[in-house]
Amino acid sequence: MASDNYRHQLVGVFGDPVDENPTILMFDAAFKAKDLNWRYQNFRVAPEGLADAMRGMRAMNFRGINLTIPHKVEVLQYLDKITPEAATIGAVNTVVRDGDDLIGTNTDGKGFLTSLKFDAKLDPAGKRVVFLGAGGAARAMAVELALAGASHLTIVNRTTQRGEALAQLLNDKTPAQAEFTWWLGDYSVPADTDILVNATNVGLYPGVGDKPGVAMDTIRGGMLVCDVIPNPPRTRFLIEAAAKGARTLDGLGMLVYQGAIAFTIWTGQDAPIVEMKQALTDVFI
């Protein structure tokens, strides 16, 4: 019997909050489907504990880790290398261990783009997109949509510095045009918006009654309204947007597709996407 048969290969996610993160369900299903002796765990790591957590990851021979709120930008300083796309985005959501090196990449944007194309049947080329928020997830998604041909992106954020920085990044590094709008009070969505994305954590469990500050009467039929939150997938924001006649896209697809990319990066195997998606729909749909 091989000497490491009783030792799990460890991966997981560092975040705060993280208790409600359903990623563990789809990775457990993926490892079972592929008969891999791997384990995924949710680790609650406060901002001041990230440095220790990353050192612990090295010491305990983790194969990789995901990063979620609030660590996607802060983690950069603890990595040995980052991929070119992560460098452009300026945020990392997936780390893989390669020998002694920790290498950071970003699968959020690609996961969202895949969900947009396959689940919503929408090509972002030529579209006008509004992002609510300018954190790590927004940066990844906005860059990917800009590179996929979105014509104009509006970054709506309550912190001027972060919002302006993302708009400048998009203007400097992608063919798209971008602008920043200060989020003060309820945001009125421009009538020519094709895609509206909530890239904040407003509405995440347990705050299921919350929704981002948007003037809902400015949401029109024909617009695609997206939410990155996977728990619950049918957020109050999406429910009210649908009532206004908008099409909606929840965060489960993005979660599955970005996780599938991480699975392949970590294990070197094709991800069992059907089983991963089923593990989540069994719980949430």
Task: Confirm whether 3 is domain-assigned.
Answer: no
- pLDDT on residue 3: 46
Please determine, for residue 5, whether its predicted confidence score (pLDDT) is greater than 70: no
* 151 neighbors 170 (Cβ within 8 angstroms): no
Tokens read off for 238 = 């999406």
Instruction: Indicate if 61 and 154 belong to the same structural domain.
Output: no
Pairing status of strand 94-98 against strand 101-105: antiparallel
Provide, rounded to the nearest whole percent, the portion of the chain with pLDDT above 90.
Answer: 85
Q: Which position has the token pair 């996977």?
A: 230
Average pLDDT in the 89-103 region? Answer: 95
72 is catalytic: yes
Question: What is the domain extent for residue 122?
Answer: 109-250
- pLDDT on residue 4: 55
Please determine, for residue 106, whether its predicted confidence score (pLDDT) is greater than 50: yes
Overall domain count for the chain: 2
Give the model confidence (pLDDT) of 62-88 as tens digits.
999 999 989 998 999 999 999 998 999
Q: Could you tell me which residues are beta bridge partners of residue 129?
A: 153, 195
Which of 226, 211, 213 minimizes the C-alpha distance to 142?
226
Task: Confirm whether 88 is domain-assigned.
Answer: yes
Whole-model pTM: value is 0.89
Catalytic member of 72, 110, 211, 277 = 72
- pLDDT on residue 285: 66
Q: What is the mean pLDDT of the chain?
A: 94
Instruction: Check which CATH number belongs to the domain holding 260 and give it.
Output: 3.40.50.10860
Q: d(Cα 279, Cα 30) in Å, to the nearest integer?
A: 9
Instruction: Indicate if 209 and 263 belong to the same structural domain.
Output: no
